[in-house]
Amino acid sequence: MYLAEQLHQRRRPIKSALLDQTLVAGVGNIYADEALFQSGIRPDTWCADLKPAQIQRLQQAIINVLQASITVGGTSFSTFLNVQGINGNYGGTAWVYDREGQPCRVCATPIQRLKLAGRSTHFCPHCQH
C-alpha cells in the first residue's frame, strides 16, 4: 500500500506528514485533523510507529473527509465564495477542528489544541490514542 510505504519512511509526527502535499495532495490542516480524529490516531504519533490497521483506517478516513467536504462545498472561512457565490460549509460540521475546549461529539472530553509543524492541531485525547 502506497500510504504505508511512504509513512514508514518518515521520521516525524503523522500530522506533519499529512500536511506534506508530495505525500497526500489535498489534505490541509483542517482535513488532517478530521481524518486523524476519524481514524482514532493522535496527531503527534510518529509515522514509523503506526500499525498497518491504523494506516488502513487513516486512508479510509482521508477519503471520507474529502468526500464529505466536497459534498458541502469545501471549507471556507472569511469571504471566499465558489463560482455560484456560496461559501463552503465543512468547517461548521468539523468534529475537532477549531473546537478547542468544546466537548468531543463522541465522548464529551474537551477537545485539545497543540502546535505541530507550526500549525494548530485539534484532537480528542480520549478518542485518539
Residue by residue, pLDDT tens for the chain (129 residues) are: 889 998 988 889 999 999 999 988 889 899 999 999 999 999 999 999 999 999 999 999 999 998 887 776 655 444 544 455 544 454 567 899 989 999 999 999 999 999 998 999 999 999 998
Confidence (pLDDT) at 86: 46
Q: Which pLDDT does position 75 carry in this prediction? A: 55
pTM over 0.95: no
All structural domains of the chain, each given as residue ranges with its CATH number in brackets, are 2-123 (1.10.8.50)
All 3 cell numbers of residue 69?
467536504
Nearest C-alpha neighbor of 34 from the set 101, 90, 110, 81: 90
DSSP-derived letter for residue 44 is T
